[in-house]
Amino acid sequence: MKYLINSAKQIAILILTICLFGCTNDDSKYPKVVAGFTYTVNPATGTVTFINISENSKNYEWDFGDDETSTEINPIKSYAAGTYTIVLIANNVAGGSDTFEDEITITIPTTPCTTEALESINAATLNMTFKTEPAAGTIINDGADFAWVSNPSFDNALNSSCKVGKITKLGNNPWDNTQINLNAKLDFNTNGGLKMKVYSAKPGFKVRIKLEEIGNPNNNTELEVPTTKTSEWEELTFPFAASQTNKFNKIVLFFDLNANNKDTYYFDDLKVYAGTGGGVTPGAFDDGLLTNGNFESGSSSWIIGVGTDPAPVKTVNGDTFYSVNVTAAGNSYDVNVSQKLAIVQGATYTLSFDAWSDRARSILAGIGLSGGDFSNTVQTVNITTTRTKYTITVTASNFGASDARVLFDLGAAIGEVNIDNVSLFLQGSGGGTGGSGTTTGLAQNSDFETGALSGWIVFQNGGTAALDNTTSNNGGTWSGKLVTNGPSNPAFKQEAVGAGTVKSGDKITVKFDVKGSIVQPGAVFNVLLFGEGAAGASFTHVFNPTPTLTSSWTTFTGTYTIPSNADVSKGLSFLIEAVCGGDAGCKVTANIDNVSVTIN
């Protein structure tokens, strides 16, 4: 028995020895974790961008020295003036870790941010400027945290607001979102859609706005728009169709949908903007076919040459404008500012702009291609030291493209050049046979044969609405053409026709010839009829079924009886629009001709 006990002891000692010396710690299988970071500081705002240079690590814990923490890889943090100790702990999957810390001193200059004067959470006047912190229950978190914070970058022309909204995704679900309940349903007859300014250090993400009916989430529509800037504010436009009016009273925001991350995003100035039903706001600048023609959104949509570099702008006494100082004379195109847009071959445009210099000198202004042989039509404009409005007429005689441009070539002479309030309007086209046009019932210039857009109001809304002399029906020369370009809803409209003639109870027939193509998903071709009364639109009717688009001319006919209680003292308005949401591949191309609106 004693022998057996001794043998058992020897075996136990042997097993223990093997465990102690024969097994190694799992940590030895992994390279050593080394924590570290560098950073850049925006001295104007106190915003710090941390750059993680840790080695052999998987997860990170940041302590920013002001009771805030983060688990992002490369976080962005806005500080008040002061000195802070930042601590980074880097970990690997086996539990190994390392710690690195550094001290940062923030000194913020006295240049102030801009305190907002207005804000509204009402559907009719929506304008979320974050002037004040949103009341409890206004914003609902669904997998993403919302916070009312200081603007991480306010020293810029686009968004100098003091306060903005901050969204931090929690990484729980790929559909993490933020919801906003409204007091009423959104009106896209008066409004063309929604706009919102966004900012993030994450490159190339997309923003999706989904509209829902409170209590009925299956009633919804959505648009998605990609961002183009990193660590810089930009404004995104979401053009919802008029057919979506009075359907939705909830806004759902998705930042980088389906990316299950823990990144941070900022947004500001979520608002409705004027659309095809509302015309131009009194006193507002109308840039026609252009975007940001008054440069009040900084360099947005304006570029140098045909590349991607933003055009230089200057702000003086609250007025932002393009400004460049030409120090050496050379080719006129050596110094340029352009905005890309669709130009129709054969069409004539009116280009207006303000310009001034520190001396008398000349510039070239006009339209042209962004590639190929760079065909263009430009005129020499002599500018002085006095700010002056100039208007020229230019025709795209032998060129046209969807990515053509308005251009200003400034490099042929020295001196400062300032440009502001640029607008471009389509006037018709040179070279056609012209004609007097036809009035059919209540519709004016219904066959477009004036070779101009008299009688028509044209809305580009991100796409193209223009005259076309390449196809028409019934022997004419001209037709109207609508082409979408990504999320957009270009339209033709006639307003307040038949005042004093049309009355409640009348049966109205809208009829026109149409041809084209439509590519789903998300594509719609709409025809709408509005009653115009003393208090505005008394009714809105969307014709259903909608027109059918084929490669051959067909005729659409829609009828509607004006309600007996509708005020039509100001007449009727009708709208023909092509609509594309945010779906990839969506495309609508349509030509219309011989439009008639009659009382039966």
Q: Is 540 strand, coil or helix?
A: strand
Task: For residue range 218-236, list pLDDT tens digits in order.
Answer: 888 888 888 888 899 998 8
* Of 269, 259, 296, 544, the residue nearest 420 (C-alpha): 296
pLDDT of res. 436? 42
Name the more confident of 497 and 407. Answer: 407
Distance CA 417, CA 419 (A): 7
Flag the least confident range among 64-78, 284-298, 364-378, 515-529. Answer: 284-298
* 313-428 and 37-106 share a CATH fold: no
CATH class of 127-274: mainly beta
Phi, psi of 20 (to 5 degrees): -75, -40
Rg of the chain over all Cα atoms, to the nearest angstrom: 31
CATH number of 434-599: 2.60.120.260
Mean pLDDT of 310-334: 91
pLDDT of res. 328? 94
pLDDT of res. 409? 97
Mean pLDDT of 120-136: 90
DSSP 254-304: EESTT-----EEEEEEEEEEE-TTT-PPTT----BTSSSTT-TTTTTT-BS
Of 2.60.120.260, 3.40.109.10, 1.10.1200.10, 1.20.1270.10, the CATH number of 313-428 is 2.60.120.260
Task: For residue range 198-216, list pLDDT tens digits in order.
Answer: 999 888 888 999 999 998 8
pLDDT of res. 375? 93
Kindly tell me if the per-residue pLDDT of 429 is higher than 70.
no
Kindly tell me if the per-residue pLDDT of 433 is higher than 70.
no
The answer for 184, left when phi > 0, alpha when psi is -120 to 50, beta otherwise, is beta
Task: For residue range 133-167, list pLDDT tens digits in order.
Answer: 998 888 998 888 999 999 998 888 788 889 999 99
Name the more confident of 496 and 130. Answer: 130
Q: What is the 3-state secondary structure (H, E, C) of 169-194?
A: ECCCCCCCEEEEECCCCCCCCCEEEE
Task: For residue range 337-365, list pLDDT tens digits in order.
Answer: 999 987 877 778 889 999 999 999 999 99
Q: What is the 3-state secondary structure (H, E, C) of 450-481?
A: CCCCCCCEEECCCCEEEEECCCCCCCCCCEEE
Task: For residue range 29-74, list pLDDT tens digits in order.
Answer: 678 999 999 898 887 778 898 999 999 988 999 999 998 999 999 8
CATH number of 37-106: 2.60.40.10
pLDDT of res. 203? 87
DSSP 334: G
Kindly tell me if the per-residue pLDDT of 193 is higher than 60.
yes
Query: What CA–CA distances, in Å, run from 270 to 127, 133, 157, 244?
Result: 6, 14, 17, 18
Say how many C-beta atoms besides its own lie within 10 A of residue 434's C-beta.
15
Confidence of residue 119 (pLDDT cuts 50, 70, 90): confident
Q: Where are the domains of the chain?
A: 37-106, 127-274, 313-428, 434-599
pLDDT of res. 12? 55
Kindly tell me if the per-residue pLDDT of 376 is higher than 90.
yes
**What's the chain's average pLDDT?**
84
Task: For residue range 447-469, list pLDDT tens digits in order.
Answer: 887 777 777 888 887 788 898 88
pLDDT of res. 312? 94
Tell if the pTM clears 0.85, that is, is over it.
no
Mean pLDDT of 116-134: 88
Kindly tell me if the per-residue pLDDT of 295 is higher than 80.
yes
Task: For residue range 472-489, list pLDDT tens digits in order.
Answer: 887 778 899 999 888 888
Kindly tell me if the per-residue pLDDT of 283 is higher than 60.
no
